[in-house]
Amino acid sequence: MPISKSVKETLSLGEKLARRLKKGDFVALVGDLGSGKTILTKGIAKGLGVKNARYVNSPTFVIIKEYKGKLPLYHFDLYRLDHPGSLDAENFEEYFYGDGVTVVEWADKIKGLLPKKRWEIHISVAGQDKRKIDIKAKR
């Protein structure tokens, strides 16, 4: 389980992960508020060639943001989602099973809707700037 000691290391880990991602991949992010889910997503965006990846931010109020890169990046933030059925209005399946890479923050809120084949990443705070990042490929 990697330990990130800084924002820079978390960004770098996201970039490295992006090199392994391909069309249709799904990344489920789980972690407390402020654990680094959005930072990791910025790294993934940079690794996918998203221009101005530093401007990638959490789509808390709009639920999803799309970014263009080598592959499209579909970034969901489900923090404010009260009920999984609310995702139907977003046509989530088009994204979850689409032509790009889907990253979902707070994925634990929709466990029953997650694709069986996915990357599952649990991030936990391990100190002031330290984060434990547990990455598993579910196949």
The span from the CA of 133 to the CA of 139, in Å, is 19
Q: What angle do CA 51, 31, 62 make, to 5 degrees?
A: 50
What confidence score (pLDDT) does residue 81 get? Answer: 83
Q: Which helix (H) or strand (E) holds 91?
A: none
Looking up tokens 């489900």 gives 78
Q: What are phi and psi of 104, to 5 degrees?
A: -120, 115
Number of domains composing the chain? 1
Label residues 8-36 b or e (16+ Cβ within 10 Å = b).
ebbbebbbebbeebeeebbbbbbbeeebb
Q: In what order do the strands lie in the sheet with 131-138?
A: 3-4, 131-138, 118-125, 26-31, 101-105, 73-77, 64-67
What confidence score (pLDDT) does residue 58 get? Answer: 81
Mean pLDDT (the chain, rounded) = 91
What's the whole-model pTM score? 0.92
Q: Give the CATH number for residue 117.
A: 3.40.50.300
Minimum mean pLDDT among 64-78, 89-103, 122-136: which range?
A: 89-103
In this prediction, residues 44-69 reach a mean pLDDT of 88
- Domain of 34, in residue numbers: 3-138
Q: Contact 118/28 with Cβ under 8 angstroms?
A: yes
Q: What are phi and psi of 109, to 5 degrees?
A: -75, -15
- Model confidence pLDDT, tens digit, residues 111-137: 889 999 999 999 999 988 899 999 999
What confidence score (pLDDT) does residue 54 get? Answer: 80
- Model confidence pLDDT, tens digit, residues 31-54: 999 999 999 999 999 999 999 888
What confidence score (pLDDT) does residue 88 get? Answer: 67
Over 70: is that where the pLDDT of 104 sits? yes
What confidence score (pLDDT) does residue 15 get? Answer: 96
Q: Quick one: pLDDT band at residue 61, thresholds 50, 70, 90? A: confident
In this prediction, residues 11-21 reach a mean pLDDT of 96
